[in-house]
Structure 1
Amino acid sequence: MNITLSTPPRPAGSRIAGLGHYQPPTVITNDDLVARGVDTNDEWVKSRVGIAERRFAMDETMIDMGVAAASKAMANSGISATDIDLVILATCTGKQQVPGGAAELASRLGIDSPGAYDINAACAGFVYALNSASEAVTAGHARNVLVVGSEKLTDYVDLLERGTGIIFADGAGAAVVTPSDSVGIGPVVWGSDGDNAHAITTDAASATLRQEGQTVFRWATSKMADVGLQACAAAGLQSWQLAGFVPHQANLRIIDLIAKKLKAPNVVVARDIVNSGNTSSASIPIALSKMLERGEVASGAPVLLVGFGAGLTYAGQVILTP
């Protein structure tokens, strides 16, 4: 018996149809951290990581923030809840191992019976999720995909510990991915360095996030520019053709060193870390959404996304802005 299975129709490409972000209202300055008892000062924090302030969620959960960001992305895209059939949540700060948060998030948005799953690639998670969404659309397995990066890192950080308490913060960003007659989301360049997985971990006993800052700094500044250049080449671009560069907002010195190595002097570089801190998988969509809100890049412009973090995982991808 000769049986042939059919496949769904496949669009030529995928694109981001809309973006949205949400940050909690409580602003914490460096002086606020000192008043709380952190052994630091404003000048030290700015010189080491470039952060002036960050947002902390007080009564909101990771899901609450994801819902807020997703609602804005859906409104900006013009895609309603009834038209979304897959939800992907990138997070490393879910409150429990089981269940994941994507199904609950979808339910709260009024999305009926979508495919739903979480991705944990830490600070690279949004790019991993975005590529998964793009592949689902271009394979014909989903019509419209909601991608959310949401983190409540203050649940897992010792806020009095200088190495992490000054860096991490809370927030969410989201994108809606739809079919397109042309390619609006380029090929992903991704990978991992498990030999250095010890550099960012969660303590098994206390569930507190720990990181080896110098190890991560050296790794990111020596590797991530090449990942970005490879992503540009995979998309058929030279780096000087980019309109924007949105790296994971880990550290301002890391961002500036990677941007310099890209050799794209006219590119608009996202430096949202100054006012938002490090929000892990939420940092790229938050920064990208703000970049578009401010009109810093035009619609249809090529922007390079580069995520990197715990694992150590990384991913680079060029997108065209909605």
Structure 2
Amino acid sequence: MSRLGNLGARLYNGEVGYDFIGKRMIWYGVSILITITAVIGLAVQGLNMGIEFKGGAVFTTQKVDVSVADATAAAESVSEHIPLVQGLGNGGVRIQISGVGTQEANEVQKGLAEALDIPASQINADLVGPSWGAQIANKAWTGLGIFMILVVIYLAIAFEWRMAVAALIALIHDITITVGIYVLVGFEVTVGTVIGLLTILGYSLYDTVVVFDSLKEGQKGVTKQTRFTYSEIANRSINSTLVRSINTTVVALLPVAGLLFIGGGFLGAGMLNDISLSLFVGLAAGAYSSIFIATPLVADLKERDPQIKALRQRVLAKRAAAGARDESAGSGEGSGRDDQDDEPREAGVGSPGRHRGQGSDKRR
């Protein structure tokens, strides 16, 4: 078995683990800081909206013996706006200029033909009105709202309302991080970006539901035992699915990275680049939120339940009594101590897997 497989088995059996729930305030703080930064950046700088939302013209040439730098200089010389120039795989160039009307677009087309020393017929001009972009944005917001409502209803039925609330917060968290990256780095927001943002919601939910399903199984009969608190069971659920979450995220990120760095970087595919960029950021944010945000939020909400509070008190009281017996036993050699009373600490790393191993050693 590989090292990763070994680690996965040990995580699943509770032999090793990380205290995600106990250190949740750190991750909450990181997410809050990112959210505040994104909101401030959005208010001060705003998003760099693409031509689809602001309106303008896109000029595409056939194969020309002109570099991107020369095409950029030519576009700047014939237009008062800052152009966005991309090289195309067929040897042509794509020149995007925002805020250009019909009359000005005709003049820019003629000026580009003279500056690039090519016939004007070899330059295709496409005008984009801002009203079209506004319609796309409105439809995207409508779709997002419907999606969120359906997600909450489904998760509340399939799991419980606390998990539905936690998943909704995690989704908003993922969108906020992705938008924050676009604001801070200055990436252009296009229709492809909107498509990517809507797509990552499904990926984000996938990882979250995997952990929730493990937690749903682990919490059966939770109030009838005194070995673990609910937070410890939640922590174990995260650890038991951690390797699976990492594997699925890496496998999903690899082809997206190929689209982003090869398709966008080498082939100059504009729309493909926009979609893959939002997917790449959103997938990473979704994996983070499913582990560090969603399940800890469920534990926080669940610990407010009177039955779960009573369970915590019973578990801690039993451990305190076991500790008092150990102290009164003497030097701590543990000659008369039963392994079944050796309860895990609050971190939730201890588990039945370790108890089974210890018990089998005693029987041997």
TM-score, with structure 1 as normaliser: 0.23
In proportion to residue count, which structure has more strand? Answer: 1
Largest Rg, 1 or 2: 2
In proportion to residue count, which structure has more helix? Answer: 2
